[in-house]
A and B are shown apart, each in its own frame.
Chain A
Amino acid sequence: GAVVSQHPSRVICKSGTSVKIECRSLDFQATTMFWYRQFPKQSLMLMATSNEGSKATYEQGVEKDKFLINHASLTLSTLTVTSAHPEDSSFYICSAREPQRGGRYGEQYFGPGTRLTVT
Chain B
Amino acid sequence: RKEVEQDPGPFNVPEGATVAFNCTYSNSASQSFFWYRQDCRKEPKLLMSVYSSGNEDGRFTAQLNRASQYISLLIRDSKLSDSATYLCVVKGNRDDKIIFGKGTRLHILP
Contact = CB atoms under 8 A, between A and B. Distances in A.
Judge: A and B partners, yes or no: yes
Interface of A: 34, 36, 41-46, 49, 91, 93, 95, 97, 105, 108, 110-113, 115
A44 B96 contact: no
Contacts of A108: 98
Given A44-B100, A97-B96, A113-B41, 9 more contacts: A41-B102, A43-B87, A43-B101, A43-B103, A44-B44, A46-B98, A91-B41, A108-B98, A113-B43
Interface of B: 4, 8, 41-45, 87, 96-103
Contacts of B98: 34, 46, 95, 108
A42 B102 contact: yes
A92 to B, nearest CB: 10
B42 A43 contact: no
A105 to B, nearest CB: 5
Most interface-central of A43, A45, A113 (chain B CB within 10 A): A43
B42 A113 contact: yes
A43 B100 contact: yes
Nearest to A104: B96
